[in-house]
Amino acid sequence: MSITVNIDPLTRIEGHLAIRIEVESNRVVNAFSSGEMFRGFEAILKGRDPLDAQQITQRICGVCPISHGTASILAQEIAYGVIPPKNGRLLRNLILGANFIQSHILHFYHLAALDFVDIAAITKYKGKDPVLRDLKAWVQSELSSNVIYPATPFLPRYSGEYIQSTELNIQGIKHYLDALDMRRLAHKMCAVFGGKLPHATTLLPGGVTEKVTARKIASLKSIIKELQAFIDNSYLSDVAEVALDFPEYFRIGKGCGNFLAYGVFPESADNSKKLFSSGVVIGEKLMAFDSTKITEDVRHSLFSSRSGLQPSEGQTVPSPHKKGAYSWIKAPRYNATVMEVGPLARIMVDYLKGKNRKVKDLVNGLLARLGKKPEDLVSTLGRHAARAIESKIVADKCAEWVEQLTPGQPVFRDFTIPETGRGMGLTEAPRGALGHWLEIRDYKISHYQCVVPTTWNCSPRDDRGNPGPVEQALTGTPIVDIKNPIEATRVVRSFDPCIACAVH
């Protein structure tokens, strides 16, 4: 007989996610992922000036707004027939790259690491660092208090295993604090040419509005150098230490095993060459990506829209009392197949393609250090490893892109909004494949649809009854204590869910 466990809400993610698992003999046999809010951005955009889109859609998420702004302007550029100049393309890559870096650092240190790092270890700290000594005193006070749910990011603690080494726990806690500064730096890097963060003001079709100057280039170089040092000396090593202490999580959370990537960070004017390329992996077989194969099912979603539509024809009709539905998230599918998106998908596509030598070398180097094989990446810890590897690749590439900027050269090309037009903006957010579909009639937005990363990953069952990626990843997960199902939360958080995006 199965026992039903509700994790509602699942914390340390963006947005409101509920997970229901059915457990038999201390193992998950069934899982359900539910987005618990409806927001209606696509309905808000109808009838608006197309140039409102990149600003409004950035408000879908405060963590990955640049990706939404980028997807929107890419869709508009197709509708307007405009291509940004080289400076404009490079600045967009730098702005988006900074957002990737801060998001990945946020996820590992401030959302996921506390599933592995034991904050109570700080009570054994004997050093002289004033910040850590203050933290030690505060944690001692909280642990000895009678407050059941203290208002902190560290407590209450789960019952369950953490990193065993006191030294490594304290190092992880220190890096947790250091990561706050690194996120601030990444935000500053983004704001140099983005205007501000979150919700950059300088993104628009045709390029950006901020000019390139020698002073801004120098500012970016200094910031990038600090971020590179943190990624190289802390982030990569911390992920490796967690992997060495929790090797079983290379077998847990494997999921559907199919991967989708649109590609991101164009390195040519026509977008034909990208830092991370597009591709589809189904059953370990690499295939070319075809956007016409994307559809959205809604049988188990709280929408009365037609099911199986392509996003260019998609509908957003809420139906909060729909029978048999359990989520405000649709179920995107690629050629009727469940697909995982995100850093792991991007790394898997490029690793199998073999053209990105840096991806190959970094993956093989980490696998050798951990004594693992490439197939082990398809797992809970594989997602963390992919995110760290991607952070290094993006940071190192930002250092190259900033050198290619030319002060005084154009950052923008003018355009005219047509009376009618259509566009599809495909890019990648930190959490995975992101698409915006736009139609213009009478110079206004007549249709807008977004399919975001967590729509893919946290989708409910589709029309054929196939569970979504997170639901599949949870199935088979061992649960030691059903009152404290930390194992399930580790699996879900490895996807870095953003439900705010998914229920846009």
pLDDT in tens, 45-88: 999 999 999 999 999 999 999 999 999 999 999 999 999 999 99
Residue 150: its pLDDT value, please?
A: 60
User: How do strand 331-334 and strand 294-297 relate by DSSP bridges?
Assistant: antiparallel
Longest dimension (CA), the chain: 70
**Averaged pLDDT, 358-377:** 96
Return the closest-CA partner of residue 491 out of 4, 63, 31, 165.
31
Please tell me the predicted confidence (pLDDT) of residue 223: 98
Average pLDDT of the segment spanning 418-447: 98
Q: According to the model, what pLDDT value does residue 155 have?
A: 67
Instruction: Compute the average pLDDT of residues 485-500.
Output: 97
Residue 159, pLDDT above cutoff 80:
no
Worst-scoring range by mean pLDDT, 215-224, 270-279, 329-338? 270-279
Instruction: Classify burial at 271, counting beta carbons within 10 Å of its beta carbon; exposed 0-12, middle 13-18, buried 19 or more.
Output: middle
* pLDDT more than 70, % of the chain: 98
pLDDT at residue 44, rounded to an integer: 96
Backbone region of residue 410 per phi and psi (left: phi > 0; alpha: psi in -120 to 50; beta: other values): beta
pLDDT level of residue 151 (50, 70, 90 thresholds): low
Mean pLDDT to the nearest integer, 372-393: 97
Query: Is the peptide bond between 198 and the residue preceding it cis, with omega within 30 degrees of 0?
Result: yes
pLDDT at 144: 83
Hey, what CATH class is 3-145+164-502 in?
mainly alpha
User: Taking the mean position of all CA atoms in its chain, how far away is CA 21?
Assistant: 23
Q: What is the pLDDT of residue 175?
A: 98
- Smallest CA-to-CA distance from 383 within 346, 433, 357 is with 346
Contact predicate 92/208, CB 8 Å: yes
Cα distances from 425 to residues 77, 94, 435, 445, in angstroms, run: 8, 18, 6, 15
Residue 281, number of CB atoms within 10 A of its CB: 22
Give the phi and the psi of residue 17 in degrees, each rounded to 5.
-120, 135
pLDDT at 351: 97
pLDDT over threshold 70, residue 496 = yes
Contact status, residue 49 vs residue 444, Cβ threshold 8 Å: yes
List pLDDT tens digits, range 90-127: 999 999 999 999 999 999 999 999 999 999 999 999 99
Does the structure show a pLDDT above 90 at 365? Answer: yes
Flag the least confident range among 81-85, 135-139, 340-344, 420-424: 135-139
Cis previous bond, 156, omega within 30: yes
Q: Tell me the C-alpha distance between 97 and 63, whole Å.
A: 13
- Residue bearing the bigger pLDDT, 384 or 11: 384
For residue 153, what pLDDT is reported?
72
CB atoms within 10 A of CB 62: 13
Kindly tell me if the per-residue pLDDT of 157 is higher than 80: no
Looking at residue 342, what is its pLDDT? 98
Mean predicted confidence (pLDDT) in 383-408: 98
Cα separation of 273 and 268, whole Å?
6
Task: Reply yes or no on whether the pLDDT at 393 is more than 70.
Answer: yes
- Please give the average per-residue pLDDT across 456-461, as a whole number: 98
Mean per-residue pLDDT over the chain, rounded: 95
Could you list the beta-strand ranges (E) of 194-283.
203-204, 207-208, 259-261, 264-266, 274-276, 279-282
